[in-house]
Amino acid sequence: MLHKLLYELQVYQIELQMQNDALRQAQLVVEESRDRHVDLYDFAPIVYFTLTRDGTISELNLTAADLRGAHPTLPWSST
């Protein structure tokens, strides 16, 4: 009986390790995709803004910041 429980725990541990490995791999894929999209957004030759629901600019890409003379990570200013 004890051997059976030990075996089942070992099988369960292996299954959990496999699931963990799959989740880590999926996380890497998602992070790589995110990084590609961030680069596309930031370095696009055209202006991109990210707006909040009320229309406030919350982010801008490097092209927009350059045209505006603003820093893309600082709050948007009207100057």
pLDDT single digits (tens) 43-61? 999 999 999 999 998 888 9
DSSP letter at 46? S
**Where residue 76 falls among pLDDT bands split at 50, 70, 90?**
low
CB 63 within 8 A of CB 44: yes
The residue among 39 and 77 whose pLDDT is bigger is: 39
For the chain, give the longest Cα–Cα distance: 76
Please list the alpha-helical segments (H only) found in the chain: 2-43, 62-68
Q: Take residue 28 and report the two structure tokens written for it.
A: 């890497």
Say what the pTM is. 0.62
Q: What is the pLDDT of residue 79?
A: 43
| Torsional class of 52: left (φ above 0), alpha (ψ -120 to 50), beta (otherwise) | beta
**Where residue 73 falls among pLDDT bands split at 50, 70, 90?**
low
Neighbours of 62 (CB within 10 A): 16
